[in-house]
Structure 1
Amino acid sequence: MNKEIIMYKKIVFLVLILTIIMSTISCAQNHSNITLTNSYDNSPRELHKLFFWRVRSKVSVVYILGSIHVGNKNMFPLSEMIEVAFDASDNLAVEIDPEKVNEKKIKKYLEYPENDSLQNHISPDTYARLINTFARFGVSQSKISKMKPAAAVTSLVMINLDALGYDPEFGIDKYYLDDARNKKNILELETPEQQLLLMDSLGEEYIEYSLQDISRWNKEIKILINAWKTGDTEMVENFFERAAGYPGGKGFLNKFIYRRNQTMTEKIEKYLKSEGRYFVVVGAAHLVGKNGIINKLKETGKYQVVQMSDFN
């Protein structure tokens, strides 16, 4: 697998979490090979919400699981209720399946052509700050000079997340994609081209977000993962309320979250009109708030929508 494919997959799995964190401040390991942490102890078991919903229509059942696109071994095993629902489903739907991407199309979205470079597209100050930040991690200017903003930021964040112990290999969508290979129909809520075009539209402001306060990333990721573990939709929604207060924040969220919510909701409604069981894994941020997928489904009045709970 070439380097462009690997980089693309990392970008795909990180786009959501980068959107949340920055606004508020791959493929070698299979599901079966992940060493799971034994979460059993003698403590009293308490019922708590999951970031997981069951949506029923007259002819279909759709399970919707909010995903964190990076993680670690401590996030596993997942709730038995979630695993049983996955096993009972005929189809897995994800934002996109990176295995279906056309390799020839990737490079133009990640790198500038031979006669161009990143330095020509951002201010000297931003470029200098970016180069200096990479230098702290031992990465030379020559390694990033041809990268477009999305690729440059993803490379920087991957270095930081790795240092903090987080890896896209332990992302929830990656976990289920690996398990579904050759076992279930894999469906896409979006197309690779749609996400590549979004990434290609990222400019200097995206780099500026990434350089604001790297020291806070660990704290922010921990808060997000804890909210996911406890089904705390309000906490995740609070990330967005904070993001909207930043310059350009509302437009950023509208472009990268809310518009996509509408198109993904429409796709899920098609599943609800088809017979069968569908297990949908989508970034947690797409599910919360009045503009989230869950609320959009509730507002139709057509479906029974229930947030599931389980014992810890």
Structure 2
Amino acid sequence: MTILSTLGDSTAHSRLSTAYSPCPNDTFVFHAWAHGLVGGADLPEVTFADIDVTNGRAERGELDVLKISYAALPWVLREYALLPCGGALGRGCGPLVLTGPDAAPDPAALAGKTVAVPSERSTAYLLFRLWAAEAVPGGLGAITVLPFHEIMPAVRDGRVDAGLVIHEARFTYQQYGLRCLADMGEAWEAATGLPIPLGAIIARRSLGAERLGRLAATIRASVEYAWAHPDASREYVLAHAQEMDPAVADQHIGLYVNEFTADLGAGGYAAVHALLDRAAAAGLLPAVPPEQLAFPA
């Protein structure tokens, strides 16, 4: 089921139509911006949506600002600019491939099996396909797309053979009686030495360089406000966290909100280029000219 709700006065003159997930890292990061606690740019009119929904809405050019998968960038960069802050990159936070307790522990056993994924345009799926090309020589079977919160129940109930999970699932999968077959983050970091680029923040290029600059500064200020006032966003975070345990929400924030959230920096941009270049070389994505990733001056 798609998660959709809205925040804000849609009639406000200066609001930017914005979509991000209800996950704790996003609500923590954007709380101050969404509630007018930092100045400098237009306020957002927020829609909460699963990543598969935001990827699609970005491809259709429907909103001003969105949180999308880095894997979706090749299809949106003509209309949208990648912002240098607000997104999700990191180490030790990669997607996991989960199976039932009776499944073979060998990744090669996934050959011909049905795997549930959160989106075929997600970074998680891209990392999974890069990994599977080497780890599953017999080739995968059917791929089915499910909202991320439905994947673990589907694996547990035997409706799919394996599931690719993201977000807080890495902290809770054992509660479903599942086991981790492989960690996509470990595989990526071993191959590249770089952080994992997961979620990107994009905004319409038609806003213009000056307005985009103010927007980036405001989002960076929202991140810094969240760090300086960690309790201020708690009610907002837990209200959208799908009945998540507060301790798990804190773990989620600690893992996905880090120095790359405040500023991609050289390491972040290197990771994004590496992901897109490797995927293009494998025929999984269209090639992206490097200049399209640069933030408008």
| Pairwise TM-score range, normalised by the shorter structure | under 0.3
**Structure 1 or 2: more helix by fraction:** 1
> Scaled by the length of structure 1, what TM-score is found?
0.25
* More contact order relative to length (CA 8 Å, sep ≥ 6): 1
**Structure 1 or 2: more strand by fraction:** 2
> Scaled by the length of structure 2, what TM-score is found?
0.26
